[in-house]
Structures are given as C-alpha cells and as structure tokens.
Structure 1
Amino acid sequence: MPEGHTLHRIARDLHAAFAGRVVSVSSPQGRFAAGAALLDEHAVVEARAHGKHLFVEFAGERVLHVHLGLIGTFTIDATAYVGERPVVGQVRCRIATDDHAADLRGPITCRVITPDEESAVHHKLGPDPLRDIDGDPAWERIRRSRKSVAALLMEQDVLAGIGNVYRCEVLHRHRINPMTPGERLKRTSWELIWSDLRRLLPLGVATGRIVTVAHEVQEIESALLEGEDVHLDERTSYVYKRTGQQCDRCGSVIRAKDVAGRTLYWCGNCQRRS
C-alpha cells in the first residue's frame, strides 16, 4: 500500500497542475460518472493529503476524497494532445485541462464529499509527520496501549501515513524492540521516532522513494539543499525485505514475523531498546 509520502507527492503535483484552473472531470470507466458530473467544469482550489488520504477541493464546496488502497494509482500526464486524449486501463476518474491529465485507477475510495465530511475524516486520523508539528496526540494513544509499538505504528488513528516500510526502518534506525508494548515505550524513544519520521518522509516526497540508509539520507539532504540532482543507490533500506541477511550494524540475521497483518522485519540482537 502506498505510504503517506506518496499521497503528499501526488497532492503536490495535482496542486501544481490544476490549482486555480477550471478542469474537466470524467469517469472513462463509468463507475464514478455521477461524482465526476458534480466536479466537471469547476475550478480546483487545492489538493492536500493527510496520511494515506487525498483530498482535492473544488469550487462550490465539493471535495474529491481518494484512498488508493493496495493497488490504486494517480498519475499525471503533462503531454498535450490534439483531439481526444487516449485512455489506458480502467480509469475511475480523470481530471484534465488542455495540457495535463490526471488519471486515477484502482482506488478503494473515490467519492465526492462536503468540507464537513472531510473534517470528519481528518478527525479520525492521527497526526501526520508531513503536516503536523506536534506528535503528542499519537504519544498519548501509544503510552496507554498494551499493543506492541510495531502494531501501533500501523494504526492510522494513532499515526497517519506510516506503513510497513517506514515502521520497520524507523524502529531499526533507533534500535527499538518492535515488540515493546506501547505502555512501556519510553517518551525519549517516541520522540526519536517522531522526529526521524519528520526527517525521512519529506525525502520520500522529494525523491518518490523510501530512503532510510544514513549515508543516502545525508546525501539527499545535501543535494536538495544545493539544488542538485539526487542519485540513489540500489539499496535504500536496512531491514525491510532482508529476511535471513546480515544486519548492517551488528551482523546478526534479520528476522521476519507477521505483526498487524504485515511482515515485520527487524534485528533481534541490536533492537533491544524500549
């Protein structure tokens, strides 16, 4: 499932392409025809994201609410066409102008809602490291729970936008035992998690990839600061999908276990911190 940086990247690109412009909205697939008719020939006000939810606000207090789910995509084509723009695949919703077209495919949620209904969605979500400075609401939920920190990091009402890759990597980066119950997690450990996510997710927005290896993170930050191109190595994570391989830090074998419906990867030797 796309993690939060992907939705914020899509929101950024949609806003750049369509904000302030009257757009045509259609449903080539037909499943969103009624919703598309409500948005067609309206101006886009803003595109924004909260966790794994995307909101495109249109004039007239109408909001397109999208959740990509496991297989959804929202791609933008900046090619200008003479005549009708071709449709590739099952396009649920298309937002288009003469020079841009954004095609939504395979979402689990695609609906038109009101601003009040959008507020209700935000209310159910935990803080998002890409939009919120304060992570305390998440900490308050975590410190009262007996669930493992690995499970809690995946709960969107605790912390919005974090998926399996960021979960595995941030716990490894700070040597935190993923099986630690939330009620036993130290406040200092939580602050390390929150501040690191606020550092890592913007790099995901900038590059379109999840990068957690220290030297890669530093090189990307330097390149972005200098306005230079970003070049990534082949491996950009420490433990994710590296079952049976050696931990870069201590040489122990990386383990795997199902936690909260997804495969958790961690090093049992160096991740002992609570």
Structure 2
Amino acid sequence: MPEGHSVHRIARQFDRNVVGRVVSASSPQGRFAEGAAVIDGREALSVRAVGKQMFLEFDGDLWLRVHLGMYGAWDFAGEILVDPTIASANGRMGQTNQRGTELDAVYDSAGENSLSSIGAPRRTRVHVRMSEQTRGLADEGDQWPPPVVGQVRLRLLTDSTCADLRGPTACELQTPDEVQATIAKLGPDPLVDDPREAEEGFVAAVRRKPTPIGLLLMDQNVVSGIGNVYRAELLFRARLDPHTPGRDVPAELVRDLWRDWARLLQIGIETGQMMTMDDLSPDDWRRAMASRDDRHWVYHRAGLPCRVCGTAVVREEMGARKLYWCPNCQK
C-alpha cells in the first residue's frame, strides 16, 4: 500500500511535469469518463499532497482528488523532469549524512530506483511506476502517446508527459470548499502543517484516546500518511507496545513518535524507499536499498529473530492489517 512518502513524491512529479500545462484527460477504463470530460482541455494550476491523498487543481475552481488506497498507483511515461530539490539531498539523507558518502542509483528487487528515481535532474524518455509496492512496467518505446496497458481509471496527457492512474480507492472532482472539508478531516501531516501546531495536535489526539497506539497510528484522522510499514517500524523504534492505550503513552514519547515520523517521511521522500534502519555502513545501506528484507527492523519478519534482542518477531492482526512487533523489546 502506498504510504505518505509515495504520495508526496507523486505530487512533486505532477508539480514538475503537469502543473502549468493544459491537460488532455480521458478514462480508458470508462469508470471516470464524465469526470475526465470535465477536466479535459483545462490547465493544471497546482498540486498538493496531504497524507495519502493528492489534490490537483484545474482552472475553473475545480480540483481532482485521488486516494490511492491499497492498490492504486500512478504510471508516468514520456519526458520526465525530476525535482532538483530531491537530487540535491541524495548522498546526504539517512545514513549517508553521517559519512558524506554519495551512492549511485540502486534498483531494488521490485524494480524501483532507490536513490535516483527522483534523482539527478534529467530530461529523458522513461516509464516510471510511482508506488512503493508495485513493479515498474516495461518501456513502451517511442510510441506517443503510449498504448494503454491494463485498467486505467484516468489518463492525464500533456504534449510530452503521460500519467496513468490505476486502482485508486477514490478519484473524484471537488470544489474548493469540498477540498477544504476533506483536508479538515485529516490528521496533521509533517510536510503540510505548521510544525508546532501539528505536533501539539498529534499529542493531544493520542493522549485523549483509550484506543491502542497501534490503531491510532493508522487512523488518518489522528495523523496523516502512516501505513502498515511505518506503523510497525515507528512503534519498534520507540520500543512501544502496540497495545498501549494512547492516553497511557507518556506525552514526551508521543512527541518522539511524531518527530521520528517526520524524519522517516522525509527520508522516504528523498530516497524513494521506506528506510527505517539506523547506523548502517555504506555497504549495508546499499543492500538495504536493494532489498526490502534488509530495510526494516520488524516489518515482514514474523518468526525471525529480532535484530536487537533475538526474540522471535510476532505477527498479529490489528485493525484488519498485519502488525509486526517484538514482544521483548516492546514490552
């Protein structure tokens, strides 16, 4: 499932490649045909990501709201201008900032370029799958526009860039008031909201609820953008039992969770991966970027020894999702 970092990366791609251009819109699948007809021929004016949702503004006070949900993804094809602010951070975020080591691009086992999928500024014909959990599609060659592959809910096409949306939970048009109402229901996002107000809002929301912290972190009304991977990793990094009621978690520990989330979110955006391991050597960092099995403390490690204490990692159902945690380190 795409988590917050993926949606922020996608929004940056739209900002670089679609915003400021007139867009041709269609729904090859047919399920968004009426909406596509409304935005067809309009100029894209701005884009913003909040948590797991993206909002693309068109002229005429019209917004496209997309929630990728469990299976949604955007495919980009054509001439892709990569965000130079991301490129400037490569070699400095995460482990590399400790050693000043600049690493080359690394493609993981799912075909995702960990360090330069949004890396050095370039203008080239590429086909990029913008989602953490999905594999990139094959290059379709020089045919333009590229052929439609699979069930495409929405295709947005400029003179040189194509963005295909597949499998979203939500794809709808909204007025400015509806956009504000949607965002108002969401919890704070470290990259969107005022840092102090967002932190205080998160602490207050957690501390007043009897709900287990493992559920609260997945509640998009409490905090935006955290999904199953980040939930497990944040709780382990805090050495926090996922069953602890939110109101029983010390306020300072809730603040630490927020600040760690802000840090991991930024690393995810700048590397393209949900990297949650600390203090890795350059070689271990590259291995982690190339293999998801080496990237996390507990996620997807059920039955394997905890990397810290050796206790078998537990997997259980919480909030209809698989939760991974160490019963020794997180007690």
Give the TM-score, by structure 2 length. 0.76
* Distance in structure 2 (CA, Å) of the matches to 1:62 and 1:104: 19
1:30 maps to what in 2?
30
Listed as ranges, the gaps of 5+ residues in structure 2 are 80-124, 126-141
Name which of 157, 165, 173 aligns with 1:112. Answer: 173
SS of the aligned residue for 1:177 comes to: coil
The change in CA–CA distance for 1:266 and 1:230 in structure 2 (over 3 A counts) is closer
| Alpha-carbon separation, structure 2, partners of 1:186 and 1:270 | 17
Query: For residues 66 and 147 of structure 2, what CA distance do their matches in structure 1 show?
Result: 23
Query: Which residue of 1 is the match for residue 330 of structure 2?
Result: 271
2:201 maps to which of 137, 155, 179? 137
Q: Name which of 209, 230, 250 aligns with 2:273.
A: 209
1:157 to 214, 221, 224: 221
Alpha-carbon separation, structure 2, partners of 1:172 and 1:84: 46
**Higher RCO (CA < 8 A, seq sep 6+):** 2
Q: 1:52 to 1:84 in 2, by over 3 A?
A: closer
Counterparts of 2:256 and 2:287 in 1: how far apart (Å)?
26
Alignment of 1:82-97 (within 5 A): 84-97=145-158
Matches of 1:186 and 1:83 in 2, distance apart? 56
Contact 2:77–2:146 (CA under 8 A) maintained in structure 1: no
Equivalent residues in 2 for 1:26-105, closer than 5 Å: 26-79=26-79, 84-105=145-166
Give the residue type in structure 2 aligned to 1:54: M
| Stretches of 4+ aligned residues off by more than 6 angstroms | none
One-letter amino acid of the counterpart of residue 174, structure 1: A
Counterpart code for 2:209: S
The 1-side partners of 2:41 and 2:287 are apart by 38
| 8 Å contact kept, 1:207–1:230 | no
> 297, 315, 318: which is aligned to 1:238?
297
Q: Residue type matched to 1:271 in 2?
A: Q
Q: CA offset at residue 230 of structure 1?
A: 11
The superposition leaves residues 75-117 of structure 1 with CA deviations (integer Å, 9 ceiling, x where unpaired) of 1112565654311111111111121000001112111111110
Alpha-carbon deviations, 1:227-249, whole Å to 9, x = none?
xx998252110000101111111
Once the two structures are overlaid, the 10-residue window that deviates more, 79-88 or 243-252, is 79-88
3-state SS of the aligned residue for 1:49? strand
Residue of structure 1 equivalent to 2:262: 198
- Name the stretch that deviates more: 229-238 or 132-141: 229-238
3-state DSSP of counterpart to 1:46: strand
Deviations 1:213-265 (A, max 9, x none): 0035x96xxx9xxxxx9982521100001011111111111111111111111
- Aligned residue number for residue 96 of structure 2: none
What is the CA deviation profile of residues 127-170 of structure 1, one whole-angstrom value per residue up to 9, with x for unaligned ones? Answer: 01232322221221211111110011010100111011101001
Secondary structure at the counterpart of residue 34 of structure 2: helix
Amino acid in structure 1 at the alignment position of 2:289 = L
**Residue 202 (structure 1) shift:** 1.3
Identity of aligned residues (%): 44
Amino acid at match of 1:99: S
> How big is the alpha-carbon RMSD for the aligned residues of Structure 1 and Structure 2?
1.9
Structure 2 residue corresponding to 1:189, chosen from 250, 253, 275:
253
